[in-house]
């Protein structure tokens, strides 16, 4: 298990954000990730439009996960329309 910082951007719409957050946390749990910290950073203006959206709702996680699961999680998140953008970062490198 390695530590990761994970940031995800959802639609600024509150309903879509809650639905997306539930999806992401469920997928992380299915992959066996242990969430150490979760911060709701709120709605922020995006630097550029993503899917015709000017604003996004940011959520930050600190988690432990098996490195082999990160690629499959990335694929699942790319296919979901509720997730605008996401980024996994290994802070130990």
Total domain count, the chain: 1
Summarised one tens digit per residue, pLDDT across range 50-72 is 989 999 999 999 999 998 999 99
- Give the per-residue SS3 of 24-86: HHHHHHHCCCEEEEEEEEEEEEEEEEECCEEEEEEEEEEEEECHHHHHHHHHHHHHCCCEEEE
Where residue 93 falls among pLDDT bands split at 50, 70, 90? low
Residue 51 inside a domain? The answer is: yes
Domain of residue 29, residue span: 2-85
Summarised one tens digit per residue, pLDDT across range 29-55 is 999 999 999 999 999 999 999 989 999
Burial of 10 (0-12, 13-18, 19+ CB in 10 A): buried
Residue 91 inside a domain? The answer is: no
Summarised one tens digit per residue, pLDDT across range 67-86 is 899 999 999 999 999 999 99
Residue 25 inside a domain? The answer is: yes
Residue 6 inside a domain? The answer is: yes
Residue 53 inside a domain? The answer is: yes
């Amino acid at each position: 298990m390695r530590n990761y910082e994970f940031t995800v951007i959802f639609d600024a719409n509150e309903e879509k954000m809650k639905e997306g957050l539930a999806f992401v946390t469920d997928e992380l749990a299915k992959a066996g990730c242990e969430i150490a910290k979760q911060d709701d950073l709120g709605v922020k203006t995006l630097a550029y439009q993503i899917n015709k959206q000017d604003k996004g709702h940011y959520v930050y996680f600190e988690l432990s996960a098996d490195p082999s699961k990160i690629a499959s999680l990335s694929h699942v998140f790319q296919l979901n329309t509720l997730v605008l953008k996401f980024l996994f970062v290994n802070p130990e490198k």
